[in-house]
Chains A and B, each alone.
Chain A
């Protein structure tokens, strides 16, 4: 990790102040380049900092950025990890209210949705591969038309066949017929009121951001049982109520480690 020789000057800049020429400095956070005169202006109110460039990059201009005395509140962006509360669960879509983006909480909630047909939105590829490898193959053939043991063999046999196997189970649209899509039941993964950790896939549509829980560390973080107690996770698909001992199905997030 290269040392950013951040010369933290206590110079306050306001939007529209010139920070330098585009030929000499690069615009970082809180700054932008005006195309018509190639000057770098500040776009935020804050303290001006200059970061030296990484030694191996071809572009040796220092980066100038304005670190927010006050940056605007958190907004979900593709790739950011969010904490959300599930509001509605139907067979194919789970709606959630995004409450935190990264470490910051939002002032007003944003709406997100987790959808099954987006391909591996709930269970990710590594999780499915792990599950397949553990299978023994002594079960009856499913509606795929072949013995389930075929899948681990496909995985071991090579890259492309393994991908088809994962695609079948992860419901990628190009690999699966339309009738196969609803194999994953939302109600076995989330219930209304659960707190989940998810990653933002994209800006989504006008109504909601598209979220995904397709990694080990994503999924239900905290849930209440029907008895009202906070449940304890016992596996990656089950949680148990400490009061009644009842086991409920959830897609559990792997916390820590």
Chain B
């Protein structure tokens, strides 16, 4: 389309949006959300961990947070596939899948590719890969029942399984997620709360070193809310890490006897 010299070419540009945002589910005048399981807004579900659940694997862990049940097996360090190129640090391979009965409506048990890559990102900062060159550590996570906040439970359980397998790590990895419902910040949301959320925040951190390995923010957030949310999550992560450590120590002392 030859334009006359001196004129700017016409391009497509959308008109500025006005009032095109999603209708908020929670209006300002609405009654505050009451959590179906009776928890306070800043109260997490009771955490249950057990290591050594799978005999065939090098290391394994089972976690149960309310209705979210996850089992993770770790294999390795074992030989990388022949097709892989040589690497002088170790490799991490993660796979998260759901069982067919995990969701209320029966679904297909296929691998969740984006959960797998997020699990990979959260764990690779914590594992000391230089200690097992040329080999691969495989982490397989299976969500037995999806009751909300699946990925944080998978991440925490995976780090326990890695510790159980004896893989050298910088620190345990604890993960907590948080939802913003209207003006309330609700920690460790269940499935129903996640579907109503305006925004979601997932933090994975190494509590002893106070370092964050992964931060995922989705939806609408204002800066003060993000700050408050992050502080809440980091605090919850350090408390979760204490529970994880006591589980590992208990497993060690019972196996000694």
Contacts and interface: CB of A to CB of B under 8 A. Distances in A.
Interface of A: 12, 14-18, 30, 32, 34, 41, 43-47, 68-73, 75, 107-111, 203, 205-207
Interface of B: 58-59, 76-80, 82, 84-86, 88, 128, 132-135, 163-172, 206-209, 241, 244-245, 248-249, 252-253, 255-256
B52 to A, nearest CB: 9
A205 B169 contact: no
B249 to A, nearest CB: 4
A69 B58 contact: no
B253 A15 contact: no
B206 A45 contact: no
A207 B85 CA distance: 9
A203 B78 CA distance: 14
Given A12-B253, A72-B58, A206 B80 contact: yes
B164 A75 contact: no
A56 B79 CA distance: 41
Nearest to A110: B79
Given A16-B206, A30-B168, A32-B128, A69 B256 contact: yes
B252 A73 contact: no
14 contacts: A15-B168, A44-B166, A44-B168, A45-B166, A69-B255, A70-B59, A72-B165, A72-B166, A75-B132, A75-B135, A109-B79, A110-B79, A206-B84, A207-B82
A15 B160 CA distance: 10
A158 to B, nearest CB: 40
A73 B133 contact: no
A16 B170 contact: yes
A16 B118 CA distance: 22
A205 B86 CA distance: 6
B209 to A, nearest CB: 7
Contact of B208 (A18, A30, A70): A18
Contacts of A70: 59, 164-166
A34 B211 CA distance: 12
Listed from nearest, the 6 A-B pairs whose CB atoms lie closest are A16-B171, A16-B208, A72-B166, A206-B86, A43-B168, A15-B169
Given A45-B164, A203-B134, 5 more contacts: A15-B171, A16-B209, A69-B252, A70-B164, A70-B166
A97 to B, nearest CB: 10
A182 B85 CA distance: 29
A69 B252 CA distance: 7
Contacts of A72: 58, 76-77, 132, 165-168
Contact of A203 (B88, B209, B249): B88
A68 B248 CA distance: 13
A68 B252 CA distance: 10
Contact of A14 (B58, B80, B88, B248): B248
A114 B70 CA distance: 44
B67 to A, nearest CB: 27
A14 B172 contact: yes
A34 B209 contact: yes
A73 B207 CA distance: 27
B78 A107 contact: yes
Given A41-B208, A44-B166, A72-B77, A107 B128 contact: no
Contacts of A108: 78-79
A75 B77 CA distance: 7
The interface centre, meaning the residue of A16, A44, A68, A109 with most chain B CB atoms within 10 A of its CB, is A16
